[in-house]
Structure 1
Amino acid sequence: MADSILVPQVGQDLTEAKVVALHVKLGDIVKKGDVVAEVESEKASFEVEAFAAGTVIQLPYGVGDTATVLQPLVILGNPGETVGKAETVGTSGTAPQALQPESKPTADAPPLSQTGDGFRSSPLARRVAAVNGIDIKRLNGSGPKGAIVLRDVKSVLQGGMRSLASPGQHADASSINTRSLRTGTGDPIVFIHGFGAELAAWRPLVDSIPVDNLMVGLDLPAHGASPAPGQAGFEQMVASVAVALIAAGRTRLHLVGHSLGAAVAAVLATQQGLDVRSLTLMSPAGLGPKINGDFLSGFLDAKSEPALKAWMLSLVHEPASLPGAMVRATLNAREGTELAAGQSRLAKSLFSGSTQLFSIRDALKQVGVPCRIIVGREDAIIPSDQTENLPGHVAIHKLARIGHLPFLEAAPLVGRLVAETVRAG
């Protein structure tokens, strides 16, 4: 007979909690006392333990979902057993032998902390405030006993207080589009694409990475399904991504980035509120001043498939490595949208002709987790020799006969290197 591990009641006045992590997948065998998930409210983060043993036969919620308290979070049973409609989420029935799990705060997120002067705030509010450079003690709290909670920080962001980017700007978590690339368990691997691309560019790589982690892609501002920001800039881009990850509960994660996305990932690894476990950076921008300005201009100006293909061939060493579908998808994404215009505005804040206007070298000095850089020796966009004189803890792989897209041109090797970095973290 099925046993349900319920979403814990993490506060007397709370009816919902966000699923931050699932440590089990369908078919896994769970023992009594195993931590099966983590959930987070505006008050605290909690680990959810199993108080029964069995096989996972249903997971009503996924990572990132908002779950209703006292509803089934994980359903255990015998292999091959199924559960009826009344036992699933969204029904008024109660799962048989429903077990209220013990929930305990995680080490890095104590419940509704209080300082000696009586100040109270939630972990999620503190994280978002820290990323945006907001002095949380200046805010008025609307939570229990006047505590500062997430909605208080959000209201300040909407009012345009100082953020990580610069005065007068704010980072909007809702502007960043994210999508699961592959299901899995444990700490998620978050993929950040390069300039002019989108999260779908990672699909050829994800199946070449021999790990079981959840894999998630995101669209940078002015890319894919993420709108262009009102005021573009590298710091604002980093802030927007950081707030989106924190708001989604993806605070403990591995980062994989390409080109501009690799630069964003490197700086994210130094931000408060994020627990980045490993970094894999492919053809990273920000290691030196040089970039192919002619490519940037031609890529942004191209209006037809032949013209766009002519420029995109610069991305690879072997022309056959560039799929025609990638060229068509890039062109189709621009048609009838403001995508190209938004990217052109963004490019002006990031590059000047053939010069990069930002650097990640200081960020790499601060990174204390496994970090691997993968570049192609024949990269025609960002010269591979800009990887010289990096900190000793950064592993560097220079691949022969590979251009700017190593994750596409050498997917099996790159997939294995990503896996090794993730396991090391």
Structure 2
Amino acid sequence: MPAGLVISAPASGVGKTTLTLSLARAWRNRGLNVQCFKSGPDYIDPAFHAAATGRASVNVDSWAMDRGGIAHLVGRGADADVVLAEGSMGLFDGVAARGVSGTGATADIAEMLGWPVLLVIDPSGQAQTAAAIAAGLRDYRPGVRLAGVVLNRVASPRHEDLVRRALDDAGIAVFGALPRHAEISLPKRHLGLVQAEEQAEIGKLIDEAARFVAEHVDLDAVLQSAAAWAPQPAANGLNVTPPGQRIALARDAAFSFVYPHMLEAWRAAGADISNFSPLADEAPDASADVCWLPGGYPELHAGKIAANARFRSGLRAFAETRPVHGECGGYMVLGTALTDADGVRHEMAGLLGLETSFAKRRMHLGYRLAELAAPMPGHRPGARLRGHEFHYSTIAAQPDTPLAVVHDATGAVIAETGSRRGNATGTFFHLIAEDR
């Protein structure tokens, strides 16, 4: 029977991902099968999980998914020895208004699955106050159970002793304390971690992190704190419809932000996916019946995309007879032009009139609920789609017919409506699931 555990923290940037990867690899090195999940809409961490465990990881999200969909996804851990769910932001951080089965908080997943929480605490600049924070998190929500704490970035043995004594007085187990160790820091970028596939040395980095954590954390005690978990059969899977029978999917360093569960659901429904690389100047497969451009980092490759005539002409020819859809970065590439951070304007595919700019960065972040005013691949007019938006571009022009009425998590209407023109559609949000 698998043992389930949630890795969380009081805030972002404390070390959840590093600890998750380290524990996963350390237990895998001991011969255990480890399955990871990511709570929330982060689409980068699952690739790191897969690198650490050798098993595909997917997102589970209480704002966008119902309990049946979440149970369906976590069921893949039934044959594992250990199941780890890495949280996002702080343990109780979600949106103000409840979504399908929660607010998107990591605590929702912990309570839903009955898994205890292993807290990562960074006591930099404090000592006993770290225990007060941990105790507050332990007591904040009765249905969420705390397994214990791992301290990260401890300054000295004296510092560790002060924090340990305070946590012991609060009745909170400390499984280990990690001194500062720059060698296992994962590179960052403006949308989060640099992606796993972009790091040639990712295996060595995770091995070093696992070795370091194994030296300072009681792996056996952490494992014993996890809850025995018997996966419950899911009455239903996710409400995800493939956009076509044969899908041409843009896939390279500029187009890589797509949720793993989406691709799995498409394949499970019988769709065939053929990848192509716009950065390699490849056109979509001529035998496909739909083309899908995910998000990614087109702003970092805008000059090359603009120069790749075979890709752009092939995409335009495809769109003359068949649907093409872009999400976020893919939407920007379907537009007329993209201005990069240096103020250089690059011509894009021109299938939509959208013009975007990174010259003046402005963050757009949050859950999105869209009601389609027109069809998009795989979804009818009137469908309610749940997704997440995260980018730093500004809209210089969005002249086409709006694709949807889009609300944020509070219910407020937002300006990023998406667009449609002919067979081309695009959205700024990344699709997670459709309401039933």
* TM-score normalized by the length of structure 2: 0.28
Higher percent of residues as strand? 2
* TM-score normalized by the length of structure 1: 0.28
